[in-house]
A and B are shown apart, each in its own frame.
Chain A
C-alpha cells in the first residue's frame, strides 16, 4: 500500500507539473462557463427582440382608456398605449408605414356586437392577438355595468373560476403550503444529484488519463524498471488512486467556478440543498462508478501502446462509460419503468442511471438502490481482478498491441 501511495503521489505530481494538464484543469470549467454565457446571451438577445414595444392606439369612444392602461400594467404587457381619434378611413396610409403598431376601435356598437376591430401593421409580435384577450376583462366589466348590475353582483360575475388539479393523495394533505415544500424537495434532490453527476463525469474523464498513463508505461518502456521496485498490483492501484485525486482536484476547480455563479445566478440556497445526507449517497455512487471505469481503463491501457492503434474491441470498451446516455430519454420518461430498472442493474450504466432516477423519483426505492450497489461492488471487485491480470502481462509487452485472443488467454491463465 505504501508503494501504491508513492506511485499515486508521483502520478499527481507529474500531471500537476504538466502544462497541458493544468490548462485542461481550468479549461473544463471555463468551457462550461463560456457555453453558459453564450446560451444566456442568446436567450437574452431573444428577449431583446420582444422588448421592442408594440404601439397600441386606442380610438376610445367609451372611456375605457384608463382601465386598459391598468390591465396592460397588471399583465405586464409590452405595450405603449396611446389615445387617438384617427378614423378607419385614414388607417391604411398610417399602418403601411409603421411597424409593431395596432389600432383598436372601442365603440359602443362594436362592444354590443362582441366584435372589436383591431387593425395591425404587417410586423406585429406573434402573440399580440393572445395578449389582446386580456382586454376582455375591462370591456366585459363595462358591459355589465351598463346593464346596471350592482358592485356585489359584478364581483360575483367577474370573479374568475379556476380548476384545481388534485390527485387522491392530496386528500390527505390538502394545504397548499405542503405543495410548495414538495417542489423544494425536488430541487433539494436535484442539487446533490447534479453534484454527484459532476463528480462522476469529472473523475471518469480524468480516469481516461489512466488509460493514457498505462499505455505510456509501455510506450516509454519504463514498466520493467518500475516493476523492479513495486508489484504490478501496487502500480495499478497507485495509478487508480492518483487519478482519483486528480479527478477530485478537477471537481474542486469546477466547484470553485460553479458555486459562486450558482449563488449569484440562482435565487435558491444551493449550499443548503447540497449539504444534506442524500449527497453522501450520490458521492458513493460516483466513487464506485469511477472505480469501475478506472479498472476498465487501466486494464485497457496496458493492452495498447497508444489510442491511435485501438482496435474495434478496445474502441468498444472505451465507449462503455457513455452507456448511460442511451438510457437518459427512457429514464426521464418513466423513472420506475423496465428500461430504467435494466439500466440500474447493468453495472456499466448503474452509476449514471441510478443517479438520474434518484433525482427524478420522489420516493427512493431503497431495495433497488441496495441491489444496484451490491452489483456495482461485485463488478468492481471482478473487474479489478481482471484488470490486474491483464495489466501484469500487458504492461510488459512493449511496442505491440494485445489481440482480444491474447487478452482472453491472460484472463484465463
Chain B
C-alpha cells in the first residue's frame, strides 16, 4: 500500500510530564487507520503534532512527496471544534474551501451535494448559530472534506453524535476510504471504530499498546468468548475444557476461551444438560483486548478505563 503519512518516534513533554513516548505509525492510501485509547492517552497531542499545531520535542513526521505539511491536501476535524456563529453555512464552507485553494464553483457543488446527503438540504443560507449541535457537527464534517483531501484526519469524529448520525458518519468515512482517501481517526469509543477501521494503533499514557491491522490484532489477541443465556450452575460450566475464566451474572454466563481452541471442536464439548436460551460465540472486543493488554503491561492504574 502507498504510504501517505509516516510518524516515527514522536516524543512530547508538557512541563515535566511526558505525554508522548516514541510513537510510530504509518497511514496508507485508502485505509482507515485508528488511534485508540482512553481519554488522556495522547491521541489529540499526536494529531496536533501531525497538523503542526504543536511542535513535538523529538521524532519525525513525513508526508509522502512533501517536505512540509501539505495543508491543502489534508482535511482536519479537531476534537475541540466549532464554527463562526454568526455566518451562513454556505459562506463558512466556501471560506474554508478557499483557504485550501479549492475552486469555488466545485466547492459550491460539493457543499450542496453533502448538505443534501446529510439531510441539511436548504440550510445553506441559515446562520450556524441557528443550527442544532448535531447539524453543526455535520457542517464541520463537510468543511473537512469539501476540498477532496488526500489525507483526512478526524479527532474523535463520533463524540457527541447520536447513533443515527454516527452511522451516517461511519458510512461516509468508509466511502471516502474506498475512493482512496487515507483516513486517520482517533476515538476512545473502541467498539465504534472496531466496525470500520482497517488498522489500529492503541495507546495508553503516551505509549504504544498494540499496533497492527484489525484482523491481525484480533487473530493474535482476541480469543473467542462464548456467551450463554440460561440458568446454569457454575460447577456445570467449570467442567468444560479450554475455558480460561468464567464471568457469571444472573442468567448470563460468559466463558472466555483459551487462545488456540478450534471453535467447532470446542462446541462439541459443551455438555448436553446446560440450559441454553441463547448462545453466541465471537471474538472478544477491542475494548476487552485493550484492557487485557494494558493490564498486562501494567499501564492501567486501578484497572479502570473510561471507554
List residues of chain A with CB under 8 Å of any chain B CB. 3, 6-7, 10, 13-14, 17-18, 216, 220-222, 224-230, 396, 398
Q: Are B81 and A225 in contact (CB under 8 A)?
A: yes
Check B13 for interface membership: any CB of A closer than 8 A: no
B82, closest chain A residue (CB): A221
**Residues of chain B with a CB closer than 8 A to A216's CB:** 84
Known contacts A6-B98, A221-B81: does B53 contact A227 (CB below 8 Å)?
yes
Instruction: Give 22 CB contacts A-B under 8 Å.
Output: A6-B99, A14-B84, A14-B91, A17-B87, A220-B83, A222-B82, A224-B51, A224-B53, A224-B78, A224-B80, A224-B81, A225-B76, A225-B81, A226-B99, A227-B53, A228-B51, A228-B71, A228-B74, A228-B78, A229-B96, A229-B100, A396-B53
Q: Are A222 and B99 in contact (CB under 8 A)?
A: no
Known contacts A6-B99, A398-B80: does B140 contact A225 (CB below 8 Å)?
yes
**Residues of chain B with a CB closer than 8 A to A226's CB:** 96, 99
Q: Are A225 and B53 in contact (CB under 8 A)?
A: no
A398, closest chain B residue (CB): B80
B36-84 with Cβ < 8 A to chain A: 48, 51, 53, 71-72, 74, 76-78, 80-84
B143, closest chain A residue (CB): A225
**Residues of chain B with a CB closer than 8 A to A17's CB:** 87, 91
Q: Are A3 and B99 in contact (CB under 8 A)?
A: yes
Give chain B nearest CB distance to A218 CB in angstroms. 10
Bound CA span A230–B80, Å: 18
Bound CA span A18–B48, Å: 33
Q: Are A221 and B53 in contact (CB under 8 A)?
A: no
Q: Are A230 and B99 in contact (CB under 8 A)?
A: yes
Give chain A nearest CB distance to B287 CB in angstroms. 28
Known contacts A6-B98, A229-B96, A229-B100: does B53 contact A222 (CB below 8 Å)?
no
Check B85 for interface membership: any CB of A closer than 8 A: yes
**Residues of chain A with a CB closer than 8 A to B51's CB:** 224, 227-228
Give chain B nearest CB distance to A214 CB in angstroms. 13
Q: Are B84 and A222 in contact (CB under 8 A)?
A: yes
Partner of B81, one of A10, A18, A222, A396: A222
Give chain A nearest CB distance to B226 CB in angstroms. 45
**Residues of chain A with a CB closer than 8 A to B76's CB:** 224-225, 228
Bound CA span A13–B51, Å: 28
Known contacts A225-B140, A228-B76: does B86 contact A18 (CB below 8 Å)?
yes
Give chain A nearest CB distance to B95 CB in angstroms. 5
Q: Are A14 and B87 in contact (CB under 8 A)?
A: yes
**Residues of chain A with a CB closer than 8 A to B95's CB:** 10
Bound CA span A398–B80, Å: 8
Give chain A nearest CB distance to B155 CB in angstroms. 9
**Residues of chain A with a CB closer than 8 A to B100's CB:** 229
**Residues of chain B with a CB closer than 8 A to A224's CB:** 48, 51, 53, 76, 78, 80-81
**Residues of chain B with a CB closer than 8 A to A225's CB:** 76-78, 81, 83, 96, 140, 143-144
**Residues of chain B with a CB closer than 8 A to A10's CB:** 95, 98
Give chain B nearest CB distance to A232 CB in angstroms. 9
**Residues of chain A with a CB closer than 8 A to B84's CB:** 14, 216, 220, 222
**Residues of chain B with a CB closer than 8 A to A221's CB:** 80-82
Can you add 17 more A-B contacts, CB < 8 Å, to A224-B78, A227-B51, A228-B74?
Answer: A3-B99, A10-B95, A13-B91, A14-B87, A17-B91, A18-B86, A216-B84, A220-B82, A220-B83, A224-B80, A225-B81, A225-B144, A226-B96, A229-B99, A230-B71, A230-B99, A398-B80
Bound CA span A10–B76, Å: 20
Bound CA span A7–B99, Å: 8
Which A-B residue pairs are the 7 nearest by beta carbons? A221-B82, A228-B76, A229-B99, A224-B78, A220-B82, A10-B95, A221-B80
Q: Are A229 and B83 in contact (CB under 8 A)?
A: no
**Residues of chain A with a CB closer than 8 A to B86's CB:** 18
Bound CA span A225–B141, Å: 11
B99, closest chain A residue (CB): A229
Give chain B nearest CB distance to A239 CB in angstroms. 13
Bound CA span A322–B199, Å: 59
**Residues of chain B with a CB closer than 8 A to A398's CB:** 80
Max chain A Cβ within 10 angstroms of own Cβ: one of B51, B53, B72: B53
**Residues of chain A with a CB closer than 8 A to B81's CB:** 221-222, 224-225
A213, closest chain B residue (CB): B84
Give chain A nearest CB distance to B136 CB in angstroms. 11
Bound CA span A7–B98, Å: 10
Max chain B Cβ within 10 angstroms of own Cβ: one of A3, A13, A18, A225: A225
Bound CA span A335–B41, Å: 64
B129, closest chain A residue (CB): A220
